[in-house]
Structure 1
Amino acid sequence: MTDFIKGRRGVRASTANGLSRMGTAFFLSISTALIALPDVSAAQDYTFGSVVIQGNQRIEAGTILTYAGIERGKAVSAGELNAAYQRILASGLFETVEITPRGGTLVIDVKEYPTINQISIEGNRRVKDEDLQPLLQSKSRLVFNPKVAERDAAIIAEVYNQQGRLSATVSPKIIRRSDNRVDLIFEVFEGGITEIERISFVGNKAYSDRRLRSVLQTKQAGLLRALIKRDTFVEDRISFDKQVLSDFYLSRGYVDFRTTGVNAELTRERDGYFITFNIEEGQQFRVGKITTSSDLADVDADEFQKALKMRSGMIYSPTVVENSIARMERLANRKGLNFVRVEPRITRNDRDLTLDVEFVLSRGPRVFVERIDIEGNTTTMDRVIRQQFKIVEGDPFNPREIRESAERIRALGFFSNADVKAREGSNPDQVIVDVNVEEQPTGSLSFGGTYSTNTGFGLLVTMKEDNFLGRGQRLNLSLSGAEDNQVYALGFSEPALLGRNLRFDLDIGYRETQTSYANYDTTSIQFRPGITFPVSDNGRLKLYYNAESIEMIDDGSAVFGGIVGNEIAQGNVWSSSLGYSYSYDTRRTGLNPNAGVLFEFGQEFAGVGGDVTFSKTTAKAIAQTKILNEEVTLRASLEGGLLDYTSGVSRSVDRYQIGSGLMRGFSPDGIGPREIVYDSNGDEVSNDALGGDMFAVARFEAEFPLGLPEEYGIRGGLFYDVGSVWGLTDASAATGSVFYEDFSLRHVVGVSLFWNTPVGPLRFNWSKALQKEDEDIEQTFNLTVSTEF
């Protein structure tokens, strides 16, 4: 093998024979040319009657003569001969070139570069050949060029640099074959990962290093360093983190924030980096006076002022100002006021640290959208992208709306890159919007395991396609099987039904349960289509139809009481119902990044066919806020439900069971009405959890750091739950004693451990019931996948 490239930027090459031989040949060619022109100083011009070209095999003589640019019979100077030599050499087709005048004949002797027989990459285990080969400019059956190969080696090294392997080296080598061919080989030494050992900050007073590290995309190397890929040093990621850090402070009123520098120092062992962000926070500003003025006679400034959600005294955020401008512009469009522009004018008050905001309404330029051109979407249909625009051809041009549309296109997750730009159209008063996208895979097939302290271990197979047939539709198929629970579910979603802001969902499911806490098995089938649409900035309304069949089956393993026995005897029971649910979520507008409120209310009415008639009402309210410089999260929730049967009788599978999921500290059937059957000796024969027609639960919890390194992703928590489930419509079938039909509160306290792992956020709960009933079933430990509201 022959080395030919001298390393730079992590690209190393041996200093062996190939390049040395090429350099020697080049030197000899120059020397020969100089020796062949002994009279250059004496003779200024040459005239050649003929040109002889030697050594060329693939390249035509005419092509070489064209590069030389020397005509027969025309006088040329020594400088022009040298220029001809340089042109031939610069073509990149020849290893050596010699130009020798021999009387009236000019002899051009060349040695062609070999052609590449094949290209191979050796030593690469972390990055596959199929990922590297498309990046190379050197190709099989093309002429070998050392400079191109050098660039290819640098490209391969950069791929490894982006993975944090800064010590990776790439050595390009050649093996000479017959017929002036070579095999080009890139020998890769991948090296180890250069991890980030520590991320620290200088100049931060309002927020701790821990809080700021949680904002960054780059992470410190931690306990799971073999699985976490964001703890490697990548320059581009550091640049992105600087912007993220700036956005974090600006959204919290620190308008003077800036990053003065980022220092990256190698450890003594040169296997890690210490990253230090030097920042200046400045002072936190709040919103002062908010006013609205208008330069237009047909615009009432007071009406636009009332549409604002901003309030004096709130922490200033550019996002809030942007949302206010967008709200005003939408109001202008609804009123038929075209080309209204809203300009925010900020007045700084350093004495009381406030920013006065004046919104000035004026007439913008009369510019229209000529057309919207979409390119690069090989899979996704044009209409999916066009649905992200609230404007169409012929509408007034609004730069803000174009920016928001671009963000909506990127948020789809269908494209690795989405670039939206506006340019002048066929006339100065028209604009063409260009949308250039790059498709990326949107489907996945995953296999995994599940574990729950209630259902045990299970296998999960999920097939998901977020852009089904390029229509922007979502299709999910999941198969999960735990020890006591098998679920087969199909979900379909159309986010823009009929091209409008209507979301259509269809869920079809089949479930079999063999529960360890009940003396029966269940089989259920569900068909549930629904439509969701916005009713306000934060409000959504969903209308749905639900058809469900549930059968309770005697598993033959135990004795049960009269109520459960009567329910099993009913066999398969169908319910057909219509329902609605309303949700109000302040996180949709993001006016306060540290707090949020979620309210949900829904009702379901059965009796549209089916075997039963009932109404079911549920409500939930959750509030969350962060305190102590956003280190501690406080969360409170209140949830309740009412089930009322007017035809038929509710069964245990229909009534509320609030253990585990809704109230910690108890098993799934741990509290609520129960039927207990005793034999003649007073011994317990069966103990059946019946569930209740009503429930109410309040949950309070705090989440906080434990002082462990942030990269471990471990936090602690405390919680307090209080609640009850009660109510039983008909207990006439009971053959034993029925307990806890009436309202009775249970109180639980506990501690939690939150752990963000690569397989998902896990939550460990240890609890203790402060107040419970004698027959309640406690569950002092529970492991679940942690979720946020």
Structure 2
Amino acid sequence: MFGIRQLLLGLGLLLSVFSVTGFALADEANGLSSVATILSIDVQGNRFVEKEMVLSKMKTRKGQSLNRKQLSRDVRTLHKSGYFSDVSFSGTRTERGIHLICHVKEYPLIANLAMEGNEEHTTKDLQLRMKLRPGRLFSPFNKESDLNTLRKGYLKDGFYQVDVKFIATPRDDGRVDVLIKVHEGEVTHIQRIRFVGNKVFSDNRLRSEISSRESSVRSWISDSDVFDQKRFGADAQLLQQFYLNNGYLDFRTESTQLNMSADKKSFNLAFNVHEGKQYATSSVDIQGDLMPDKETLLELLQIEAGEIYSHEDMLATIAALTDRVGDEGYAFATVTPLMNRKLDESTVSIIFDVEKGEEVYVERVEIVGNEKTEDVVVRRLLKQHEGARYSGSQVQKSKEGVLRSSLVEDVRVSFPKGESTGKVNMKVDLKEKRTGSISGGIGYSQQEKVIFTAKVAEQNLFGKGYQANLNGTYGKITQNITASLTDPYLFGDNISGSINAHKTATDPLTTTTYKTSSFGTGVGLGVPLLDHLSYGISYQYTQTDLTIVDPTLVTSLLVQAQQGKQTTGMVTQRLTWDNRDRMLAPTEGHLEQLSVGVAGLGGLDKFYEASFESRAYFSFGDKNRVTLNPNFTAGMISGYSNSEVPLQRRYSLGGMGTVRGFDSLGISLRDPVTGEAVGGDKKVVASLNMFFPLPLVDTTAGVRGVAFVDAGTVWGSVSATVGAATVNVTEPFSLSRVRSSAGFGFEWMSPVGPIGMVWGFPVRKRAGDIKKSFEFVLGGSF
């Protein structure tokens, strides 16, 4: 269709040129000179395009001599402008010269444009990429452009049956109403993937190494079986990478074949491969600029003699050597692998040739992209300093430190040349994230029923890196408000300082016969000891009022013994190792924290507490695809000087961060008479989260799914004496008392903070436990 349209357009141009030529030749036939002056130029046939615009595109001007060739060129120029379907010239000859007339036929304007049949994409989204829209010309050029745009968009999504038609209905005023009818058809799936020439690895093994997938029940939850031209092209690279990592240095993909069925419902893909021989590494050595020394560099080798060659290990070795030489100040060091293959022995010897380049010092550090954050906030996170010798590891630690600060989405570091030889500038380019948020939510719990939550947070207050939080929760049982302010660099030093305050009221209703009201405030300091090791100390003072709701009800003696006001002044020390790649939604690294606290300074309560927490993160597949997150927590608390641990400080499990699928106070020691939760003095919790991308959801949207299993229990003893009555509740540790649950959920790293929903289902429970199947999380993580 497009070729015919262009042919007709060309014939029109040719006829227009002939008409211009005929006009000039007629003058000569009348005995007049062909050289005549143009007295005027008029435009006829234009309704929407101004006369001045038409004349501006022509090079023929009033006062010039008539030039047939220039008129022909003007015809072509006006056609190419895209406004006119036909252009011709005529003129009236006088003794003084010629009055020239340009006749044009315009393409119609679009009065209204509508689309139908587009279910996969909204009309609004499609029209953003189109040239046709109300008020613009309905020309073959715009129509052809939009036809190609729509088809390419649908083909990219796998709709190879798509058909697009344009229907124009003329109006009385010369404009047209345009209807675009889209027939999307069905998505074209990959029916079969086969390999030709593979002898070492089976078809099934090779299919698992590429991104494209055959249609199956498993492919319903993803789009990997939908044909994608870019993915198909990348599959050949994935095959080569797989074979190279298994020692097949001569591997190549000789050709690829793509066949679509006649009904356009399926594709068959084929890869013709040449495997070649498998090579082992016969020897490995290093030569060149051996900085700092050969022995140090040899320890960094990932490839060993006698092993099957692996290209992945080769790249890792090059990176390790480059970074180590870079730590000696050589920012532009290069490592070149020199490989010598012996075909008869199927071996390869490798020599890494090191060229250190020039020793480099960082002359100046430039921070860009920080529209809100002050320079000093970023500079104090950098390990590479101005005036110091370049260090590759310090640069990497600088990038990691900035990313872990939660102030930026991305950071890029480059090294443009400085003002003198051997000097570079370190340019730190930031992409800041939104650090302030105001959010609210509604959740549901078996005990609380409807829960209202609100949060105001700013992780970069005044652009100085201050972290401020104000949180509120209002439910049927619990009303809580907390506030905190942290300065990560108190007094400009590498010491964090924080203050906090909270006010909490609880009325457990069905699970206890008492309610509590407490107010507290505290301060804390944190000091880094090593790159990932830090020490913290804090003091928290809390005053709690425990009141029995109805004295006429049967109340646990444990509750009666602790009713009234209690004051707690507690000093807590923490030792933390944290090398996670980021604070929110980490994918690599681990966190270990050991805490020891003693109450008795400034309050009447006397007890001590120790706990240990461990979290690890392991990613598999592509970066940020699937992350396994095992967690473990253990704690113990005990009174001293004949004091019992306050009820509100004793351990009960249930809910986010412990054993999901159970409600708050859902797992606990209970009074044998009243059934009230009285808590244990020891606890252990283990869980395993698996975070994964959701099908058909872009990973950059910050949305991911989670599947989990939890297990945990509490045990210990508690006793109390009221008058002549004594009660003692004791539960020893037993595997039979370990509760467990499993479930799934969704997490969204929204601009206002993490938002999550979790459905948990108890797998193993005991009589008296309280379940909670759904939990809504705002501002926290899994």
Q: Which residue of 2 aligns with 1:710?
A: none
Distance of 2:548 and 2:594 partners within structure 1: 35
Q: Which residue of 1 aligns with 2:750?
A: none
Distance of 1:518 and 1:240 partners within structure 2: 65
Residues 742 and 762 of structure 2 are in contact (CA less than 8 Å); yes or no, is this contact kept in structure 1? yes
Q: Which residue of 1 aligns with 2:649?
A: 654
Q: Which residue of 2 aligns with 1:767?
A: 764
Distance of 2:8 and 2:272 partners within structure 1: 51
User: What per-residue deviation string (whole Å, max 9, x for no partner) do you get for residues 547-595 of structure 1?
Assistant: 545443433394222221122223x645454432413558899xxx9x9
Distance of 1:412 and 1:624 partners within structure 2: 18
Deviation of 1:396 (Å): 5.9
Distance of 2:278 and 2:757 partners within structure 1: 35
Counterpart of 1:67, as a letter, is M
User: What per-residue deviation string (whole Å, max 9, x for no partner) do you get for residues 430-472 of structure 1?
Assistant: 6677777778877777776656677667566667777777777
Range with greater deviation from structure 2 (288-297 or 323-332): 288-297
**Are 2:37 and 1:49 equivalent residues in the alignment?**
yes
Q: Which residue of 2 aligns with 1:107?
A: 100
**Are 2:359 and 1:362 equivalent residues in the alignment?**
no
How is 1:363-762 mapped onto 2 (pairs within 5 angstroms)? 363-364=357-358, 366=360, 372=366, 374=368, 391=384, 450=443, 458=451, 484-485=477-478, 488=481, 511-515=504-508, 516-525=510-519, 535-536=529-530, 538-556=532-550, 558-570=553-565, 573-583=567-577, 599-607=592-600, 609-621=602-614, 637=632, 639-645=634-640, 649-658=644-653, 675-676=671-672, 684=673, 686-693=674-681, 695=682, 697=684, 725-728=715-718, 731-733=720-722, 738-741=727-730, 743-747=732-736, 755=744, 762=759
Distance of 2:276 and 2:499 partners within structure 1: 51
Distance of 2:160 and 2:401 partners within structure 1: 36
Q: Closer, same or farther in 2 for the Cα pair 1:255/1:413, shift >3 Å? A: farther
Distance of 1:352 and 1:528 partners within structure 2: 69
- Aligned to 1:653, the other structure's residue is in SS state helix
Q: Closer, same or farther in 2 for the Cα pair 1:188/1:779, shift >3 Å? A: same
Q: Which residue of 2 aligns with 1:84?
A: 74
Deviation of 1:49 (Å): 0.8
Q: Closer, same or farther in 2 for the Cα pair 1:438/1:601, shift >3 Å? A: closer
Q: Which residue of 1 aligns with 2:753?
A: none
Q: Closer, same or farther in 2 for the Cα pair 1:392/1:150, shift >3 Å? A: farther
Q: Closer, same or farther in 2 for the Cα pair 1:269/1:499, shift >3 Å? A: farther
Q: Closer, same or farther in 2 for the Cα pair 1:111/1:555, shift >3 Å? A: farther
- Aligned to 1:731, the other structure's residue is in SS state strand
Deviation of 1:604 (Å): 2.9
Counterpart of 1:83, as a letter, is R
Distance of 1:35 and 1:94 partners within structure 2: 22
Q: Which residue of 2 aligns with 1:67?
A: 58
- Aligned to 1:604, the other structure's residue is in SS state strand
Taking only the aligned residue pairs, the percentage that are identical comes to 16
Counterpart of 2:87, as a letter, is V
Deviation of 1:617 (Å): 1.4
User: What per-residue deviation string (whole Å, max 9, x for no partner) do you get for residues 393-439 of structure 1?
Assistant: 76666788878877888888988997766656777766677777778
Deviation of 1:697 (Å): 3.3
Distance of 2:567 and 2:146 partners within structure 1: 68
Distance of 1:324 and 1:22 partners within structure 2: 63
- Aligned to 2:562, the other structure's residue is in SS state helix
Counterpart of 1:518, as a letter, is T
Distance of 2:258 and 2:452 partners within structure 1: 44
Counterpart of 1:362, as a letter, is K
Counterpart of 1:64, as a letter, is L
Distance of 2:240 and 2:490 partners within structure 1: 35
Distance of 2:102 and 2:498 partners within structure 1: 75
Distance of 1:511 and 1:101 partners within structure 2: 94
Distance of 1:517 and 1:737 partners within structure 2: 21
Deviation of 1:602 (Å): 1.5
How is 1:207-246 mapped onto 2 (pairs within 5 angstroms)? 233=226, 235=228, 238=231
Residues 627 and 690 of structure 2 are in contact (CA less than 8 Å); yes or no, is this contact kept in structure 1? yes
How is 1:284-323 mapped onto 2 (pairs within 5 angstroms)? 295=289, 299=292, 317=313, 321=317
Cα RMSD of the aligned pairs, angstroms, is: 6.8
Deviation of 1:618 (Å): 0.8
TM-score normalized with structure 2 length:
0.66
Residues 247 and 280 of structure 2 are in contact (CA less than 8 Å); yes or no, is this contact kept in structure 1? no
Distance of 1:276 and 1:568 partners within structure 2: 77
Counterpart of 2:231, as a letter, is I
Residues 488 and 509 of structure 1 are in contact (CA less than 8 Å); yes or no, is this contact kept in structure 2? yes
Distance of 1:251 and 1:539 partners within structure 2: 39
Distance of 2:206 and 2:446 partners within structure 1: 32
Residues 496 and 504 of structure 1 are in contact (CA less than 8 Å); yes or no, is this contact kept in structure 2? yes
Distance of 2:202 and 2:575 partners within structure 1: 41
Residues 674 and 690 of structure 1 are in contact (CA less than 8 Å); yes or no, is this contact kept in structure 2? yes
Q: Closer, same or farther in 2 for the Cα pair 1:596/1:83, shift >3 Å? A: closer
Q: Closer, same or farther in 2 for the Cα pair 1:93/1:439, shift >3 Å? A: farther
Distance of 1:374 and 1:105 partners within structure 2: 65
Range with greater deviation from structure 2 (250-259 or 359-368): 250-259
Distance of 1:79 and 1:726 partners within structure 2: 104
Distance of 1:277 and 1:788 partners within structure 2: 44
Distance of 1:320 and 1:609 partners within structure 2: 56
How is 1:1-20 mapped onto 2 (pairs within 5 angstroms)? none
- Aligned to 1:567, the other structure's residue is in SS state coil
Deviation of 1:766 (Å): 1.3
**Are 2:140 and 1:151 equivalent residues in the alignment?**
no
How is 1:244-263 mapped onto 2 (pairs within 5 angstroms)? none
Deviation of 1:738 (Å): 3.6
Q: Closer, same or farther in 2 for the Cα pair 1:458/1:117, shift >3 Å? A: same
Q: Closer, same or farther in 2 for the Cα pair 1:543/1:53, shift >3 Å? A: farther
Residues 296 and 363 of structure 1 are in contact (CA less than 8 Å); yes or no, is this contact kept in structure 2? no
Q: Closer, same or farther in 2 for the Cα pair 1:566/1:80, shift >3 Å? A: same
Residues 495 and 527 of structure 2 are in contact (CA less than 8 Å); yes or no, is this contact kept in structure 1? yes
Counterpart of 2:684, as a letter, is V
User: What per-residue deviation string (whole Å, max 9, x for no partner) do you get for residues 140-164 of structure 1?
Assistant: 7777765346435654665666666
User: What per-residue deviation string (whole Å, max 9, x for no partner) do you get for residues 44-77 of structure 1?
Assistant: x95331152322675455972663256855574x
Distance of 2:664 and 2:8 partners within structure 1: 80
Structure 2 unmatched ranges of 5 or more? 693-703, 748-755
Distance of 1:597 and 1:443 partners within structure 2: 27
Distance of 2:240 and 2:439 partners within structure 1: 35
Distance of 1:244 and 1:476 partners within structure 2: 48
